[in-house]
Amino acid sequence: MNIILIGDPVAHSRSPAMQNAAFAHLGLDLRYAAVHTPLADLSARVAALRAPDYLGANVTLPHKQAVIPLLDALEPEAARIGAVNTIYKDARGALVGANTDAPGLIADLRDGGIDLAGRSALLLGASGAARAAAFALAGGGLARLTIANRSLARAVDLAADLRTHPTTSQPTIQAIALDDPDLPAIIAAADLLINATSLGWQADETPLPNPPVAPHALVYDMVYRETRLLREAAARGARTRNGAGMLVRQGALALTRWTGHAAPIEIMWAAFRAEE
């Protein structure tokens, strides 16, 4: 049986090593492979998952929103977020979309001892990954959430969606552009800064050069390696954390949906680190 990672690009992904190590440990005859999928090929790629030799897929940039109309059903949280990163088959063989990014992020923040209650967060980005982060953070007890994006319209749309689906601990929500003159003051006041953009895979890329973060702040980059953003934040005395834990946690939740097995987290971590 096959499970694939759908995205563009995918060559950098450590998910195949991580998932295949977990399947081998569990004694499952499953194979996980990264399949480069441009947008023009997305519909055909998802349709291929209906074949009996496919169990499901992960979905990464830039398809987490575009994949939704191609599926048969969504888990309630994925529908609320408006982004899918995991596809599995139900008992009837229908393709169901799930979002394991949001709980994966919260689990990793908790692993890092991060308490969101009453805090102020700045989220960079408004894509599928950012949507998962925004909904996860909004439900985590924050007092204030600011969404900053190159396209102000997309940040405004995400903020509106958050207000449409309020949580029991709904924070004050603000949307701004990355070139907003108020951004430096917002950065300085933030307890948590999260990069949910793809900028960071290249060594010199950053969505926010030399961010004026406070020494007490945590700067979290979903890119799962050390990045320029994290280096520059650390130079200002801030705590930093990359997205490795989020990748492992979301992957573990996806594995359980595909197989019904509890994920061997330590095996997945070991496989992830072996790729470094």
- Range 117-139 burial, b when 16+ CB lie within 10 A, else e: eebbbbbbbbbbbbbbbbbbbbb
Q: Residue 95 maps to which CATH number?
A: 3.40.50.10860
Report pLDDT for 21: 98
Q: Sorting pLDDT into bands at 50, 70 and 90, what band is 165? A: confident
Say whether both 108 and 165 belong to one domain. yes
Residue-wise pLDDT for 26-75, tens only, equals 999 999 999 999 999 999 999 999 999 999 999 999 999 999 999 999 99
Beta strands in 46-180 (DSSP E): 54-59, 73-74, 86-89, 95-98, 120-124, 144-149, 172-177
Report pLDDT for 194: 98
Cis ω before 171 (30° cut-off from 0): no
Report pLDDT for 37: 98
Say whether both 68 and 129 belong to one domain. no
Note the pTM of the prediction, 2 decimals: 0.95
Say whether both 81 and 211 belong to one domain. no
What range does the domain containing 32 cover?
A: 2-99+247-274
Say whether both 119 and 192 belong to one domain. yes
Q: Average of pLDDT values for 3-9?
A: 97
Say whether both 110 and 225 belong to one domain. yes
**Is 64 annotated in the active site?**
yes
Of the residues 14, 45, 63, 64, only one is catalytic, namely 64
Say whether both 50 and 135 belong to one domain. no
Report pLDDT for 274: 95
Structurally, how many domains does the chain consist of?
2
Please count the other Cβ atoms lying within 10 Å of the Cβ belonging to residue 172: 10
Q: Sorting pLDDT into bands at 50, 70 and 90, what band is 169? A: confident
Q: Average of pLDDT values for 87-116?
A: 95
Between 249 and 140, name the one with better pLDDT. 249
Say whether both 76 and 112 belong to one domain. no
d(CA 149, CA 166): 21
Which among 119, 164, 155, 113 has a CA at the least distance from the CA of 137?
119
**Spatial CB neighbours of 40, under 8 Å, sequence gap ≥ 6:** none
Say whether both 192 and 267 belong to one domain. no
Say whether both 183 and 124 belong to one domain. yes
Say whether both 112 and 69 belong to one domain. no
Contact of 230 with 221, CB cutoff 8 Å? yes
Place of tokens 């575009």: 66
Q: Residue 113 maps to which CATH number?
A: 3.40.50.720
What is the percent of the chain with per-residue pLDDT over 90, rounded to a whole number? 92
Report pLDDT for 89: 98
Say whether both 111 and 91 belong to one domain. no
On the question of pLDDT at 219 being above 80, the answer is yes
Report pLDDT for 204: 87
On the question of pLDDT at 168 being above 90, the answer is no
Say whether both 121 and 137 belong to one domain. yes
Across the chain, mean pLDDT equals 96
